[in-house]
Amino acid sequence: MPVIQPAQHDFSDILSSTWAFDTLTALHGEELAAQQLFLEHEAYTLGEAHFKKTLERQQERGEFAENATAKPVLSTLVPLMAVAFDNWVEHQVTKVRRKHIGLQFFQMVKAESVAAITIKSVLNIIAKKGPKSIQSVAVFLGRALEEEARFGRIRDQEAEHFFKHIRKALNKRNGHTYKVAYLEKVEAHMQEANELSSTWTSWDSLENDMTYHMGIRLLELLIESTQLVEVKREHAGNAKLDGEFVHLTQEWSDKLCARAYSLAGVTPRYQPMIVPPKSWVTMIGGGYWAKGRRPLPLIRVRSKRALQRYRDVSMPEVFKAVNIAQASAWKVNEKVLAVAKAVMEWKHVPIDKFPTADREELPVQPEGMDEDPALLKAWKKEASGVYRRDRARVSRRLSYEFIIEQAEKFAEYEAIYFPYNLDWRGRVYAIPAFNPQGNDMTKGMLMASVAEPVGLEGIEWLKIHGANCAGVDKVDFSKRKAWVIENQELILEIARDPLGQPEWTKMDSPFCFLAFCFEWAGVVEHGALWESALPIAFDGSCSGIQHFSAMLRDERGGRAVNLLPSDEVQDIYRLVAEEVIEKVVKDLTEGTDDSSEMMTNEKTGEIKERRVLGTKSMARGWMGYGIDRKVTKRSVMTLAYGSKAFGFTDQVREDIIQPAIDRGDGEQWFPDAQQCARYMANLIWDSVSVVVVAAVEAMNWLQKAAKLLASEVLDGKKTKKNPNPAVLKPCMPVYWVTPDGFPVWQEYMKPVQRRIDLMFLGTVRLQATINVRDSDTIDGAKQESGISPNFVHSQDGSHLRKTVVKASECYGVEFFALIHDSFGTIPAKAGKMFKAVRETMVETYTQNDVLEDFREQFLEQLHESQLDKMPMMPLKGTLRIQEILDSEFAFA
């Protein structure tokens, strides 16, 4: 029995909601009404079960302190114990002649860290099953404190190096043993380089049971200051079992159980619906029909205060769009489901990164590995890649199993629905975890509930869709259609026997392509009369840059992202890659040679040599590896969302260099992963800034504007005579309204919290008031860095909502498959969606100057002294927005 065992909830109020049942019965009949309310009730019971399972797993793993149940305990008790510890140390130093044997070691760690380590460690130990003797708890505490003192000095003495390199590598290692082993190696390396000013003598090697006595003192201080635990003598008279054991006090046990009970009651696992969702008419209460313990808000915001801002806002077009979108009727594609279930059992699946049931085998250990350190090191390096991939496999496997489970559950219904709401920037999100915005398997398993005859035009769109799913999407429409006809025999063979003909698994979107194959077989047999319910989507071509190019009339950027008509598909990722290759080729002949630089240790004065790769050798490595659109894609995609050269570095290393190293062929091209990643990142940044210069200018302009708003204006400088000058303009949030009337408040606040970063026990946040999440102080740095991605996300959210309304009201589209910059419907209506998505893009940027509107909205909020600091608006180019109507590939 777990130590923290919350009571079971009674969610009968959801199941027996009279108003919801009567309303649904009138609309859909008694049977569906009862089933829908059962599903909503089940969301809470499933959520409670999931919460408890997670809680129990964390207790057994010794990670209970990381559960939300325990967080307030830390925030409340750490300050109390820190004060008690400080007082004890001061008393020891100033008043006591015979000091505690561990005093000098206690003084190596800050009081708040000592308290946080003690409380987190005790919570983790106590929550596990089984007795906890005072000896075992004390030793555990002593060792935890020693690890913080020992490895914390790496963080403290070499802070810049630690936070730049070591912490990230440490966080990637799972398991306490691996983390310790890694830091021991770091410590040895730093000592060898004279970068640490001290060696370490293990406390266990000292006399007087140092670790145990220090742990006992920590336990005593914990009991005295917090009454979190108590020590009881048990089994008196039984020589084998007699001893003192540590327990949670009844008061704290009750508090923790009560908190766990409350959290378990408000963590529903939302599911699809079997009746149309309740329309949104106010900020709370749409989507699901029963009130529930946690009514859903239309907008996902951090607090009730933030939600209240929208109380008096009129945005009928926004409500209309969300209600239309969530009224789309779906069903499970049972053919794809059957294949997916079978593939889940295969030992080897050709689909890239598919999570098989069995783990990858470790590499064979070479002979003599135990005696040869080089062989051992090489084997461990190869094995670490296997362990890393397996962690990802387990996570994906659980996700895929959940998808299959949900699909099976809802396959029996003729129609299912997904309620939607918005994030604070206005992006549309499905609420259930299983939804059409999921991965390729999920999308392949879902289709419209109502099919319509494809018609001759729909057949053409179906061909284009099939080629897109196969990855043949960087050519014009005629070539995509031709590809389907040329491969028709293969497509029909897959439809007849998908398990016997697994060629579909090698396609770009395997499960969506499989669904297309089944659909195409129907078209081949029945022609234009075939009734198709397959969602066909039109995806934006790097939509963030599309929006920036449109708002600035940037012809070069617009052409690169297909806003202008063209005979060929423009591929911005390839265009940037070509720019990069030009620079790399130049570096091959004109670049710098390898060199070395002398690094001086500021503490010891020792001079150490470090190899610096020249641009010539890095250029050779990258040309040998190969530079194509895959190398540049993620960086270019994230440009419009605020990523810059330093962000590109991490992306290139994670996406390109590390996988190459894991495969065993990376080191020949990338002798220093970080230097090679930084080199490529800078080239991508320089290249993309040339291809889409206007987008970069717009982002810089937005950041400067946000910085002004986040700046406080005082009546004079702070001086001794005037220490608190009057505030003429406080730090202010950034506010704007999208073209369809959705108001956005960007307001990043500094938390009323102090962080305690521990080496092995994560982060503890201390806050003045338990229920306060944010302060009243705006975080200027976040306001500046967040404005570009948030602004462009709000624009693509507005475009999506406007497209939904336009397609519905003007073209009779009733089914929508939506994912931010992807606009889908069934083949019979695909041509109409194709028109609607372009027409709304043109309307948005001909009827609105979104940057000028933004400027006017915040100019009114600036102080007069700031007006001359306002940067000039980026100049507009010559792009004719109306030409988007004639561009086949802007959304394709």
Question: What are the angstrom distances between the C-alpha of 477 and each of 454, 482, 569, 755?
Answer: 18, 9, 9, 55
Determine the pLDDT at residue 768. Answer: 43
Residue among 587, 774, 779, 821 flagged as catalytic: 821
Residue among 481, 633, 806, 829 flagged as catalytic: 633
Tell me the mean pLDDT per 10 residues along the chain, length 892.
82 89 95 95 95 94 92 90 95 91 92 93 92 93 91 77 73 73 79 76 82 94 96 83 90 95 94 98 94 90 88 95 98 98 94 88 84 80 77 88 97 98 97 96 98 98 98 95 98 98 97 98 98 97 94 95 95 94 95 80 60 92 95 92 84 91 83 93 93 91 89 84 85 91 91 70 55 64 90 97 98 97 97 98 97 88 85 92 96 93
Q: What angle (nearest 5°) sits at the alpha carbon of residue 473, between those of residues 467 and 474?
A: 145
Determine the pLDDT at residue 767. Answer: 53
Helix 111-126 to helix 71-95 angle (10° resolution) is 130
Q: How far apart are CA 215 and CA 702, in angstroms?
A: 54
Contacts 24+ apart (CB under 8 A), 356-365: 356/393, 356/397, 357/397, 359/390, 359/393, 360/386, 360/389, 360/390, 360/393, 361/386, 362/386
Domains and CATH numbers, the chain: 562-691 (1.10.150.20)
**The two three-digit tokens of residue 592, written as one number:** 């710098």
Residues 6+ apart with CB under 8 A from 721: none
Determine the pLDDT at residue 769. Answer: 38
Nearest to 612 by CA among 674, 664, 660, 654: 674
Backbone torsion region of residue 234, taken as left when φ is above 0, otherwise alpha when ψ lies between -120 and 50, otherwise beta: beta
Residue among 132, 335, 481, 539 flagged as catalytic: 539
Would residue 821 show up in a list of annotated catalytic residues for this protein? yes
Specify whether the CB–CB gap between 430 and 423 falls below 8 A.
Answer: no
Determine the pLDDT at residue 2. Answer: 58
Residue with the two structure tokens 């003045």: 768
Would residue 95 show up in a list of annotated catalytic residues for this protein? no
DSSP H helices, 626-692, are: 629-639, 645-652, 658-663, 673-691
Question: What are the angstrom distances between the C-alpha of 485 and each of 397, 466, 471, 492, 628?
Answer: 35, 11, 15, 11, 29
Determine the pLDDT at residue 740. Answer: 97
Class of residue 847 by CB neighbours under 10 A (exposed 0-12, middle 13-18, buried 19+): exposed
Determine the pLDDT at residue 605. Answer: 53
Q: How far apart are CA 91 and CA 755, in angstroms?
A: 27
Would residue 594 show up in a list of annotated catalytic residues for this protein? no
Specify whether the CB–CB gap between 154 and 196 falls below 8 A.
Answer: yes
**The two three-digit tokens of residue 383, written as one number:** 């094995």
pTM equals 0.89
Q: How far apart are CA 316 and CA 313, in angstroms?
A: 9
Name the 3-class secondary structure at 576. Answer: helix
